[in-house]
Each structure stands twice: as C-alpha cells, then as structure tokens.
C-alpha cells in the first residue's frame, strides 16, 4: 500500500510538499514528468524554471537524489523522517501506560532492543511500586548494555535508586558475568548460574509481572553469542547490535497480580540462598 503525505492528512501547501508527495508514490521521475503530474493532478501553476530551481534546492538539502536526469527521494532523508516519527510515537505512547487498572496488558515490539528499552523506560520507570518492594529480573542470559542511549542510562540510575533491584541469570558464561558486573556497578544485585523453572525472561515491579517471549530462531541466534564467546575480548558489540536490532516480533505480557509478584520475590531469595 502506498503511504503518502495526503493519505495521512498532511496538506500539500507548497511545490516542495507536492514534489515529495509525488515521489513517495512513483519514482524515479524526470523534471518533465514531475511538471506534468503536478499540473495535471494537483493544479500547480509553477513554471518549468521554478520547478527546476525547487528540485535543485531539494537535492542540496539532501531530500532528493538526482541520478542523471531522474529524481527520487533520498533514502537517508527517508530514514531520518522515519526515525523522527518513531521518536514522536514513542513519546506519545508513554501516556498509554498511565492507567494501570487493567489486569493484563499485552503488546508486541519489533526487536529485542525495543523490548529491553520498554522494560527499562516504561515498565520499571512508570509502573507503580509505592511500597518500594524489591524489583526482580529472571534472565536466561544477562541483559546487555549494547544499544543503550542517554535515556536508558538515566533511567537505570533512577530504577536502582528507587528500590532494591535483584536479578537471577540461569547461565554463567563469560558474557553473563561481564554484563552483570556492569549492572552491579550501576547498583543492581546480580547472581549468575541460578536455575529457575521458566522459559523466557520475567520482570517484577510492584504488583506487576512482565513476561517476555522470544521467537525460537532469535533465541538460538542470541544465545549462540553467549555460548561461543570464551573471552570478553572476543565480544563484538557491532555484531551483537545487528542481532538485537533486526526485526523479530517479540511478545510482552504484563499482569497485575500481587500474589504472583510476591511469590516470585520469595522464590528468588530462596534460589539465591541455595546457590
């Protein structure tokens, strides 16, 4: 399906808007072809010379790319617009989690990194914990800092200062210990090599429990990195980032269940004590 400016309710108020709109639906086009479409479909009365001037400006601004006599939208400009739109959507989406009356919240995110950021920036930061009960993480492998930005680092500090944060990790690979050491320096208590009877990752904040489910193919690819890395020096953050940021539909189910949350807390301390 073609998505254009007019299809999302943005009026075409200038020749620049119209050019971008046309090239979002059909590309590449020559100046002559663009001139014809603008006159025929949008009633624009710009001269051919004025169109050439506008096209040159858009090329200089990095909005359009010119190859020979053909014009099309610049891919990098499109990517920047997409990124901006995602940031705006993210900021607006925060308000949807202010009503915590629902007993079950289900959502899907595009990749592992988005899931991690949601847990940090939304679940632990905005879900209530008025009694300052211990917050928990049950991981198959320790959460990694790769892909974190200023928002994540800021919220980590807020999280760990707000209440006690503890984590159990099933595995105890070199990377599990390496990532745990980083989190402990930030204020989290981590225990590696402690088995628990569950699949996927589990997080507890106040009376809320978040369970994150990963596609089997993604889990296999991600966990292979932990298993094959025998020295910290062998870890490749760029390769790891490509894995955690590529498209994989990941499901997150959040339940408001005080008794289950407390049960997990008690079990965590029993498992930790028996380790």
pLDDT confidence of residue 14: 62
Q: Which pLDDT tens digit goes with each residue over 70-99?
A: 999 988 888 877 765 565 455 545 544 545
120 class by beta-carbon count within 10 Å (0-12 exposed, 13-18 middle, 19+ buried) = buried
- Mean pLDDT across the chain: 84
CA distance 47 to 27: 21
Contact partners, residue 143, CB within 8 Å, separation at least 6: 116, 137, 167, 179, 183
This prediction's pTM: 0.63
* Mean pLDDT, range 211-225, rounded to an integer: 92
Closest CA to 20 of 67, 72, 83: 72
Contact partners, residue 107, CB within 8 Å, separation at least 6: 118, 251, 252, 254
List every span in the chain annotated with CATH 3.30.870.10.
Answer: 98-274
Assign 70 to helix, strand or coil. Answer: strand
* Mean pLDDT, range 243-255, rounded to an integer: 91
Q: Which pLDDT tens digit goes with each residue over 101-151?
A: 557 888 889 899 999 999 999 999 999 999 999 999 999 999 998 998 889
Enumerate the β-bridge partners of residue 251. Answer: 108, 213
Assign 138 to helix, strand or coil. Answer: strand
Q: Which pLDDT tens digit goes with each residue over 106-119?
A: 888 989 999 999 99
Q: Which two tokens stand for residue 31?
A: 């100046």
> Does domain 6-82 match CATH 3.30.930.10?
no
List every span in the chain annotated with CATH 1.10.10.10.
Answer: 6-82
Residue 39 vs residues 14, 19, 35, 81, 85: alpha-carbon distances, Å: 13, 11, 6, 27, 30
pLDDT confidence of residue 4: 36
pLDDT confidence of residue 12: 39
Enumerate the β-bridge partners of residue 204. Answer: 136, 209
> Does domain 98-274 match CATH 3.90.180.10?
no
């Amino acid at each position: 399906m073609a998505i254009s400016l007019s299809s999302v309710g943005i009026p075409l108020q200038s020749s620049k808007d119209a050019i971008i709109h046309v090239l979002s639906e059909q590309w590449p086009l020559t100046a002559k072809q663009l001139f014809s479409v603008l006159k025929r479909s949008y009633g624009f009365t710009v001269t051919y010379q004025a169109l050439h001037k506008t096209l040159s400006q858009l090329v200089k601004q990095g909005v359009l790319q010119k190859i020979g006599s053909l014009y099309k939208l610049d891919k990098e400009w499109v990517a920047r617009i997409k990124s901006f739109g995602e940031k705006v959507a993210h900021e607006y989406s925060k308000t949807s989690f202010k009503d915590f009356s629902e007993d079950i919240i289900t959502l899907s995110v595009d990749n592992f990194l988005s899931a991690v950021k949601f847990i940090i920036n939304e679940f632990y930061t905005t879900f209530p914990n008025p009694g300052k009960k211990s917050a928990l993480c049950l991981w198959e492998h320790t959460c990694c800092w790769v892909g974190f930005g200023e928002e994540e680092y800021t919220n980590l500090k807020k999280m760990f200062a707000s209440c006690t944060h503890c984590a159990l990790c099933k595995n105890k690979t070199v990377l599990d210990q390496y990532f745990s050491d980083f989190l402990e320096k930030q204020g989290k208590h981590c225990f590696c090599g402690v088995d628990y009877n569950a699949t996927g990752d589990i997080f507890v904040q106040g009376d809320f429990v978040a369970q994150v489910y990963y596609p089997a193919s993604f889990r296999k690819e991600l966990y292979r990195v932990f298993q094959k890395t025998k020295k910290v020096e062998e870890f490749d953050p760029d390769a790891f980032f490509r894995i955690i940021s590529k498209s994989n539909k990941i499901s997150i189910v959040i339940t408001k269940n005080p008794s289950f949350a407390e049960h997990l807390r008690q079990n965590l301390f029993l498992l930790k004590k028996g380790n």
